[in-house]
Amino acid sequence: MNSKVRVRFAPSPTGPLHIGGLRTALYNYLFAKKHEGTFILRVEDTDNSRYVEGAEDYIKEALDWCGLTPDESPFHDGEFGPYRQSERKAIYKDYAQQLIDNGHAYYAFDTPEDLDKLRQEQEAFGDKFIYGAHNRNELNNSLKVSEKETLEYIESGKPYVIRFKMPMAKQLAIRDNIRGNIQIKTNDLDDKILFKSDGMPTYHLANIVDDHLMEITHVIRGEEWLPSLALHVLLYDAFGWKAPKFAHLPLILKPFGKGKLSKRDGDKHGFPVFPLEWKDPATGAISSGYREEFYLPEATINMLALLGWNDGTEQELYSLEELVDKFSIERVHKAGAKFNPEKTKWFQHQYIQKVDDSVLAEEFKDWLRAEKQIETTLDFTLKIVSLLKERLTFMPDLWNESYFFFQAPTQFNPKSSKKAWKEDTAPIMTNFISFLEAETDFSKEQIQPKIKGWITDQGLGFGKVMMPLRLALVGDMKGPDVFEMVSLLGKTEAINRLKFALNTLN
Ligand code: GLU
């Protein structure tokens, strides 16, 4: 493959980036890096009415969080800027003009009211109104009225749009690197607007012009753009430009039922569909994000990479570097990929296990201070992390698995109490406390054999002591190894908790 691969991720800043969009960015990134090419972020913000405050920053932050920082972008200039279409406004008009001059486009003066009327008339017949080859000569445009009139209209300030003159009855064969050859007939296609009355290009024109000027070699984007493909290829032809190669990615589907994964699915089943938390500037509504839900970016990326691609082996865990190495567009699936919330957690579990204990301990210590106003030492959180790491999927799980190290029980789970605290437990525990009071070394290595020895000497069953002991320390029949707990809590605290249980449960 040539070494000048240039690909772009071209989102419109109309809201938070959906994980489907993030996957598009990821595949573009992987493809670029695999071929030692350039990954570009181009912000497609020509539609003023859909612009949403903060959306562009969100896109940048999300890409950075995932380690997919573009080589060229509005935030990192290259030779092909500006990378924000609103800043390229002056460029597009000339290109629209070029198409008018070479007969591939025309001015249309139809007012929105005219078009609405025509639409309604057609709908009354159960048809759809299409502005195209079959009727364009009867409508109010520069193909119908004379050149003189056209000029007069324009000079008098009459609003107009510029439309593409869709060729009639042409059969197109277009190659898609994922889908193979696609046959499209132009008959049913309309004369799309290329340039709007507000002086801005539409997506179609701006997108093609920019892909050309930015020397994009491969367009990798979502399947929802497939219906625009014919127009885009024809636009390249009309300009006399070589079209890039195309690859349309499969949809990400709902985990349950049919259709595209939506924000509503996430709300309903409690998983994020956005990489970062998003606060809607209009309503203030918050949508959860992978980052804020404590997913690691590595897990998020790995999960997304496999939603629509695999390398043909059973391997599931890949670092970003490995993905770059293994990725190929040809192995991207044609069929939609079902999002799997459980599998997503599985990836997170795998990745958190790879994080260094000391890193988790540091984070947990900070988390305890911020969320629970608990001050503790790194030494202590490190012990907790090494004890409980295997049970972790998300950072806050550490708290759920260890809160009793920081707070003595104030009550006891009734069901567990019934099971663990019997008629004869009180005298046993009273003796047990006296035994512990005489001990001095509470390191696990020392205290474990001592306790075991004491139980044997007393001629008791193991459960007779271990169960009420666990209940006293935790308030419930859960938690890690009892000896670890005794040792971590230390002599005073362990005995205090036993005494409290004794008083409370009798
Ligand atoms: N601006 C389009 C979007 O929002 C870009 C589509 C494309 O990649 O051509 O997805």
pLDDT tens digit string along 155-168? Answer: 999 999 999 999 99
> Of 460, 453, 447, nearest to 487 (Cα)?
447
Determine the pLDDT at residue 305: 98
Identify the residue whose tokens are 């240039």.
6
| CATH code of domain 414-505 | 1.10.10.350
DSSP 462-484: HHHHHHHHHHHHHSSS-SS-HHH
CB of 56 sitting under 6 A from ligand 1:
no
Q: Which amino acid is at 240?
A: G
Instruction: Give the pLDDT confidence score for residue 30 in this predicted structure.
Output: 98
Residue 237: count other Cβ atoms within 10 Å of its Cβ. 14
Q: Is 44 in the pocket of ligand 1 (CB under 6 A)?
A: yes
Per annotation, catalytic residue among 263, 343, 389, 419: 263
Ligand 1 centroid, distance to 116 Cα (angstroms): 27
Question: What spacing in Å lies between the alpha carbon of 233 and ligand 1's midpoint?
Answer: 15
Query: How many Cβ atoms are within 10 Å of 211's Cβ, its own excluded?
Result: 25
Pair 346, 329: CB distance under 8 Å: no
Percent of the chain at pLDDT exceeding 90: 97
Instruction: Indicate if 268 belongs to the active site.
Output: no
- Read off the pLDDT of each residue in 365-385 and give the average, rounded to a whole number: 96
- Do 299 and 350 touch, CB atoms closer than 8 A? yes
* Residue of the CA atom closest to atom 10 of ligand 1: 11
pLDDT(17) > 90: yes
Phi, psi of 437 (to 5 degrees): -60, -30
The per-residue pLDDT of the chain, averaged, comes to: 96
Q: Does residue 169 carry a pLDDT above 80?
A: yes
Burial of 469 (0-12, 13-18, 19+ CB in 10 A): buried
- More confident position, 229 or 187: 229
Residue to probe by mutation, ligand 1, list 225, 235, 236, 246, most atoms within 8 Å of CB: 225
Expressed in angstroms, the distance from the first to the final Cα of the chain is 78
Residues in contact with 495: Cβ distance below 8 Å, sequence separation at least 6, in sequence order: 433, 436, 437
What is residue 490's three-state secondary structure?
Answer: coil
- How much is the pLDDT for 49? 87
* 8 Å CB contact between 307 and 252: yes
The token duo for 128 is 């759809």
Peptide bond before residue 480 is cis, with ω within 30 degrees of 0: no
Please tell me if the CB atom of residue 225 comes closer than 6 angstroms to any atom of ligand 1.
Answer: yes
Please give the sequence-ordered ranges of beta strands (E in DSSP) within 233-290, or none if there are none.
Answer: 245-249, 252-253, 278-279, 286-287
Among 14, 207, 211, the mutation site with the greatest number of ligand 1 atoms within 8 A of its Cβ is 207
User: Does residue 3 surpass a pLDDT of 70?
Assistant: no
Cβ of 28 closer than 6 Å to ligand 1, yes or no, is: no
264 CB contacts (<8 Å, ≥6 apart)? none
- What pLDDT does 421 receive? 97
pLDDT of residue 453: 98
Residue 487, ligand 1, Cβ within 6 A: no
Q: Identify whether the C-beta of residue 282 lies closer than 8 Å to the C-beta of residue 274.
A: no
CA distances from 381 to 205, 391, 496 (A): 57, 15, 22
CA diameter of the chain: 113
Q: What is the pLDDT of residues 245-281, one digit of tens each?
A: 999 999 999 999 899 999 999 989 999 999 999 999 9
> CATH number for the 90-196 domain, one of 3.40.50.9100, 3.50.50.60, 3.90.800.10, 3.30.360.10?
3.90.800.10
Atom of ligand 1 nearest to the CA of 11: 4
pLDDT of residue 202: 96
Instruction: For ligand 1, pick from 203, 219, 226, 251 the residue to mutate: most ligand atoms within 8 Å of CB.
Output: 203
- CATH H-level superfamily of 6-74+208-253: HUPs (3.40.50.620)
Atom of ligand 1 nearest to the CA of 220: 8
**Residue 51: which region, alpha, beta or left (left: phi > 0; alpha: psi -120 to 50)?**
beta
Q: Parallel, antiparallel, or unpaired: how do β-strands 337-338 and 252-253 relate?
A: parallel
CA of 391 from ligand 1 middle (Å) equals 41
Atom nearest to 9 CA in ligand 1: 8
Structure tokens at 411: 């009550």
Q: Separation of 212 CA from ligand 1 center, angstroms?
A: 15
Residue 221 pLDDT more than 90? yes
Question: How far away, in angstroms, is 82 Cα from ligand 1 center?
Answer: 17
Cα–Cα dist 64/313, whole Å:
29
> What is the mean predicted confidence (pLDDT) over 23-27?
98
Our answer on whether the CB atom of 10 is closer than 6 Å to any ligand 1 atom is yes
Ligand 1, closest atom to CA 228? 9
pLDDT band at 2 (very low <50, low <70, confident <90, very high): very low
CA distance 68 to 31: 12
- Tell me the C-alpha distance between 282 and 285, whole Å: 8
Residue 159 confidence (pLDDT)? 97
Decide: 12 in ligand 1 pocket, CB within 6 A: yes
Q: What are phi and psi of 200, to 5 degrees?
A: -110, 145
pLDDT digits (tens, 9 = 90+) for 453-500: 999 999 999 999 999 999 999 999 999 999 999 999 999 999 999 999
Instruction: Delimit the domains of the chain by residue range.
Output: 6-74+208-253, 90-196, 357-405, 414-505
Q: Is the CB of 142 under 6 A from ligand 1?
A: no
The alpha carbon of 306 and the centre of ligand 1 are apart by a number of angstroms equal to 22
**Beta-ladder partners of 322:** none
* Sequence-ordered alpha helix ranges (H) in 285-424: 297-305, 320-326, 341-354, 357-372, 378-388, 397-402, 414-420
221 Cβ inside 6 Å of ligand 1: yes
pLDDT at residue 1 greater than cutoff 50: no
